[in-house]
Structure formats: structure tokens, C-alpha cells
Structure 1
Amino acid sequence: MSPILTTDFAPEFSGAATAVAGALGAYLLLVEPWLGRRMYASLARRRATEPRALVRYFTLSITLWWAFAALAASTLLLSPGAKAKDLGLALPKDPAFFLPVVLLFAVIAVASGRSFRELAKEGKHIPGRAAIEAMLPRTDAERRLAIAAAVTDGICAELVYRGLLIAFGVGALGLDPYLAAALSLAVYALAGWYQGGTGVVVLALFGALLTGLYLATGSLLLPIAVHAMISVRDLLIPAPELPHAQGGAA
């Protein structure tokens, strides 16, 4: 049985924590997909004519994600009976499983990133690049922010989508852990709407992998590491000479 699905996984949410988590969950479900699509469409329109458009986009994204992470962490402070491990803030129970998986995904990220750069040099098609083209950096300052945004995404998205939403589903809504995990995955997948229907499918598949890693280890450490490595790889894909993203449709 997966560590998180044991009988001692029973998060306790106070009334205040339930309100905070519920409000954040509602935002992620009802507002984030629409707002993310609108923000990306705006970036795509301005990218070629406003030199600092991407810097502002990444800065805002980083700020919002850390604010969401702070709200998620606040549910622990608002709930005297809650424990850090209820949100996945614990070490993996099996280091022998953790280390090989991290190494495997590190190799995948490095090898695929190198392959993408070779394809770019040869002027060939890079899978998935068109869907995120407006976010790809072209200057050193943009690359540094892209790395910061990718790491932030890995940490904060896992704490919010996997850690908080699953715990909220079990502790506040009384759901079976599998159902809570499935619902959190559905909310996460909708965040890919800024890339269109293809983006939703891609995030659903990626989110399923991350959810499985969380359920298998009872810790967010492995999902965070994998998420951050893949996000860094994606945001460092070589940008084309001239941007032509048109509003985020995949």
C-alpha cells in the first residue's frame, strides 16, 4: 500500500484553514485556467515589441506562486491538529527508491534538453516548442528568471496541487484519498488550458506521474525534484529567431 494511503493519513483542518484551502482551490479551478490563458495570450502579443514583457510575466508568475504556497502553508498554522507531513512536507520513506528516480529524471532532462538544442541548431522541429514559444528566454536576464520560475513552479505547484488539495479533499471533504488525488489532478490539468486542449492533456499526463510519485513516497520531495527538472528543461528550449506565438493555442 502506498505510504500516503495508510490509515494515519487523516489531515485535520480547522474552520479557518478549510476556508483558506477552499478559497484557493476554487480559484485554481475557476479562475486560474482563464487567467493563465489570458496572461499568456497577452505575453504572446507583446513579446516581439516589448523588451521586458517576459521579465514582467515571470516576475508576476513567481510572485503569485509564492503567495499561493504561503496560503497553503498557512493552513498548517491555522490547524492545531495538522502536521507538516499531511501536506507532504516530509522525507521519503524509502531513500533507495528516491535516489534512482531522481537520477533517472536528471538523465532524461539533460539528454532531452541536449537533443532539443541540437534540433534547434539544425533548424528542425522541436516537439512542444510552439505551445510555450512566448515564454522562451532570449537574454541572460530572461534565462535566469526562467530558471527561477521553473524552480518556483516545481516547489509551489506541488505544495498546492498535490500537498494541499489532496489533504483538503481527505481532511475537509471526507473523500477517499484516491478520489481526492484524482480531483486534484483534474484541477492541475485545467491549468494547461493556456496551451489549448493539448496543454490540458499534457498536464494531465505529467500530473498523473507526479501524483503517482507522491502517493508512492508520501513526500513531495520527489515530485518537486522531477517537476523542477522538467520545467527547467522546457523553459530553456532554444527560442526561434522570431516569435510567432499567437495567443497560446497549442
Structure 2
Amino acid sequence: MTISPDFSVASTAVTAALAAYLLLGEPWAGRRMYASLARRRDTEPRALVRYFGRTLALWGVLAAGAVAALLLSPGVDAADLGLVLPERPGHTVALMLVFVAVAVASGRNFRGMAERGRHVPGLASIEAMLPRTAEERRLAIAVAVTDGIGANLLYRGLLIAFGVGALGLDLTVAAALSVLVYALAGAYQGRQGILVFAVFGAVMTGLYFATGSLLLPVVAHAALSVRDLTLPAPDGPRAPSAA
């Protein structure tokens, strides 16, 4: 995969502001928002609804910034951000189906474990976000899909293109830095969350490089996020938030 974006001055300014937020603001905001949710989840019935609403609004603002960066730069086209069809559509569709099947099968397994009171790996770190009502479940699915689109557009598409086109970095180095920035977004889940986000980000970046398109990582990310955010909330008092 090769890209050759040429950022304008205006686009560089917009993208630099987005990159600064993703690097410094997102880990801080994510920790504060999740810690606040964890404190209010059991005492305020609509705490999760408000949390999901703010999350969707934030993703909307960030996505609008990414689109603005693209439109402000004639030297950056959609392909530089991975917004193209994959190089091998048939293989990509097959892999998409595999990821969806894995998400469905593992989701059923995790749901059965949770219903039997068995430990589900990683469940405690997102416990406050697990839906308990139909409205919360609908919003959880919307957030999961939006997360799959937004995270890949920003962390994989825009940041890697910015590293190559504006900072003059090698494609591999730019990708590694984007994975590092994405890993920090998992800070609200503690040190383990940072590690999990780093591994997950590396896998999604690998899928992007293998296909030349964000389509596969978006579908894989969204499918796994829907699986996680629709698991049943554990019964009884929640464990204290790590954040």
C-alpha cells in the first residue's frame, strides 16, 4: 500500500488540532467521562443514555473535522485516507464475513458465560457501559458502529496520511505512531486497556494495509464493538471502576 497526500496549510492546521486532541485530550476526556458514568450508573437511571449521547456527539465533531481536512486539501484525495474500495473485493468480503461470524459466535459464548455468572475476560473494564434497557441497547449498537467508523477514519486514515504527507514520515513509522496514539485512548480501562487498544489498533492497521481500504477494519471493528457493548450487565453491585 502506498499513499502520497499533500496537505494544504489550512488542512494541516485542522489535522494538527485533531491529532493533538486524540493524543492529549481523548485519554483525559475518556477517563473523566467513564469515571463519571461509573459513579452515577446505579443512582441515575439515564446516566448511560447521556453518556452514549455525548459519545455520539463527540464522534460527529471529530468526523466533521476529518472531512474538513480532506476538503481543504486538493492534494489529499479519498484514497489517501483509505476511503476507497479494497484492492481485492472478493477476499475482503470473505474476511468481513469471517469477522462477523467470529463476533456472533464469541458473543453468544460470552453471553452464556455472563448469564451463568462465569468470568468474561475484559467485562469488568467496560461494565458501566453495558446496557440494561432496550433504549440503552439501541444506543450501544449505534455507538459501537460509530466507533468502528470514527476510530478507523481518524486513527488509521487521517493520522497515517498526516504523518506521511505533513510530517514526512515513512508509512510504517506513521502507522506505528497512529497505533500508539490509539492505544492511549484505552487509558480509561487502565494499563490493561492501553495494551488491549494497542494490540487491537495494530490488527486493524494491518487489515488496512493488507486491503488498501478502511472498509474491512471498519466492519471488523464495528462487529466486535457491537458484541462487547451488548453483553448483559452483571447482576449485583458493580466492581469499583479502575479509572
Unpaired segments ≥5 residues, structure 2: none
Structure 1 distance, partners of 2:163, 2:178, is 8
Equivalent residue runs for 1:157-196 within 5 Å: 157-196=151-190
| Worse overlay, 103-112 or 236-245 | 236-245
Q: Percent identity?
A: 65
2:47 to 53, 62, 69: 53
Render the CA deviation track for 1:140-170: whole Å, top value 9, x for unaligned.
0000000000000000111000000000000
AA aligned opposite 2:100: A
Q: 1:172 to 1:246 in 2, by over 3 A?
A: same
Structure 2 distance, partners of 1:30, 1:73, is 21
AA aligned opposite 1:129: L
Cα distance, 1:211 vs. partner?
0.3
Structure 2 distance, partners of 1:243, 1:24, is 38
3-state SS in 1 of match to 2:59: helix
Render the CA deviation track for 1:28-49: whole Å, top value 9, x for unaligned.
1111101101110010000000
AA aligned opposite 2:154: V
Render the CA deviation track for 1:89-111: whole Å, top value 9, x for unaligned.
00001013201211111111011
Does structure 1 conserve the Cα–Cα contact (< 8 Å) formed by 2:56 and 2:143? yes
**1:131 maps onto 2:156 in alignment:** no
Stretches (4+) displaced over 2 A: 245-249
**1:224 maps onto 2:213 in alignment:** no
Unpaired segments ≥5 residues, structure 1: none
Render the CA deviation track for 1:202-222: whole Å, top value 9, x for unaligned.
001111110000011110000
Structure 1 distance, partners of 2:109, 2:35, is 28
**1:204 maps onto 2:193 in alignment:** no
Does structure 1 conserve the Cα–Cα contact (< 8 Å) formed by 2:125 and 2:241? no
AA aligned opposite 2:58: L
Does structure 1 conserve the Cα–Cα contact (< 8 Å) formed by 2:152 and 2:217? yes
Instruction: Say how many residue pairs are matched.
Output: 243
Question: Which residue matches 2:238?
Answer: 244
TM-score of the aligned structures, taking structure 2 as reference length: 0.98
Structure 1 distance, partners of 2:192, 2:64, is 30
Give me the CA root mean square deviation.
0.9
Does structure 2 conserve the Cα–Cα contact (< 8 Å) formed by 1:116 and 1:238? no
